[in-house]
Amino acid sequence: MQTPELRDGFLLLGPPVLAPTEDRVQALDEARTRIGAPPPNAYIRTIETLGAGDFCNAFSLFRPEMLRTYGALDHLTPPAADLAAYVVFAKSFQGDFYAWRPDDLNGGAPAPVCLLPRGCTRFGPEWEDAQVHAPSYEAFLGTWRAGSASPAIRTPFFVPSRFEWQRASMAALSGQETAKAAQDALATTLARTEDARVLLRIDGKQSVQQHLYLHGSGGWLVATIEDAAAIRNRSTDTRLELRVPAAGNPKETLGTLAATLESMEWLVESPS
């Protein structure tokens, strides 16, 4: 059974892909020249310990080579000159950006993190305007590390960029009266049989989704479960997608998982 690695408060789904020290130093020097200011030390520490990648299935942290001013990105409407100079270091899965003001980077105090909603053109008080999001990069990352940035987070996790997954999926009929009952049964059973840890739980109107890390196989399982009232006469209510590292065999792992579900009296289709 694999031992999960916890680094800087995040569960690693795959080993960090870290550039050699000389390459990192060169990339940071080039970024400093390109953006006209040095990135915060806390950002540099993340790059040195975790590398670039995706946090909590919510946002992607850029490599130093990808640091750009907001004005250098593609825009339908050009942003105001002051906003165009902001340094973008991350992008949310919804298309929003996280950035620093260059004047803050050149000061001695921690640089606040600003949220730049997709398509924003100015800094201001409206919901579509750029605004200060956190007092510093460390405070920004800390909200994700603590799980307080989103109610969906159960275990803060990190997926290194350039990490490849193999995928397979299967469907099942849980026989449970509600999606939540099926979700709880699945999490409880896999915690016992696979030493699984719940990463995310997302409640919808007619379905629930949970992401689990299976320590036994190193796999990332995404289970989407619909309420019985929503499926009616259909033969399945659960969609299971498994991602395993490139060297693994997702269908083989799903076959083991299928046997576990059948022991719970779930009706399982063959993995595909």
Structure tokens at 129: 């305007």
Q: At what angle do helices 179-193 and 250-263 cross, to 10 degrees?
A: 110
The rounded Cα 210 to chain-centroid distance in angstroms is 13
**Domains of the chain, CATH where assigned:** 6-153 (3.40.1580.10), 165-268 (3.30.160)
Burial class (CB in 10 A: 0-12, 13-18, 19+), 176: buried
Question: What is the amino acid identity at position 170?
Answer: M
Helical segments of the chain, H only: 21-35, 41-49, 81-84, 102-105, 137-145, 179-193, 228-231, 250-263
Which residues is 272 bridged to in the sheet? none
Residues whose CB is less than 8 angstroms from the CB of residue 179 and which lie 6 or more positions away in sequence, other chains included: 206, 207, 208, 225, 226, 227, 228, 237
pTM of the model: 0.91
The three-point CA angle 17-93-87 to 5° equals 75
Q: What is the pLDDT along the chain (272 residues), one digit of tens a residue?
A: 455 688 999 999 988 888 899 999 999 999 999 998 999 999 999 999 999 999 999 999 999 999 999 999 998 899 999 999 999 999 999 999 999 998 999 877 899 999 999 999 999 999 999 999 999 999 999 999 999 999 999 999 999 987 889 999 999 999 888 888 999 999 999 999 999 999 999 998 888 999 999 988 889 999 999 987 766 656 789 999 999 988 889 999 999 999 999 999 999 998 88
Strands 10-12 and 157-160: parallel
pLDDT at 18: 85
Q: Give pLDDT, residue 1.
A: 42
Distance CA 180, CA 156 (A): 22
251: left (phi over 0), alpha (psi -120 to 50) or beta: alpha
194 SS3 class: coil
